Amino acid sequence: MRQLADIPHPEAKITLFSWNGKYLIKLERGPFEQTYKVSEMDVTSEDDVRALLDDEFVEAAVQRFTQMRQDLQAAFSRHDL
């Protein structure tokens, strides 16, 4: 796996990788991470992948991190942990 870029963003760490014929977009926030795989056949360049990371996409991912945290907390609560 080859790291192509760190993309600065105030809400999450965003890293772009290339691996096995795919671009991997990895977003991290605290203990949670999301990875999106985009086939190199679906885009023409790394710039196309960066274009996918518009405000709407990143905001949805940030909201998903909140839901992930809530889901984990709920599981802990269900099992009295």
Q: For residue range 2-55, list pLDDT tens digits in order.
A: 999 999 999 999 999 999 999 999 999 999 999 999 999 999 999 999 999 999
In this structure, the dihedral spanned by the alpha carbons of residues 48, 51, 53 and 57, taken in order and rounded to 10 degrees, is: -110
pTM higher than 0.95 for the full model? no
Distance of alpha carbon 44 from alpha carbon 59, whole angstroms: 24
Beta strands in the chain (DSSP E): 2-7, 13-19, 22-29, 32-39
Token code pair at residue 11:
């809400």
Where exactly are the structural domains of the chain? 2-78
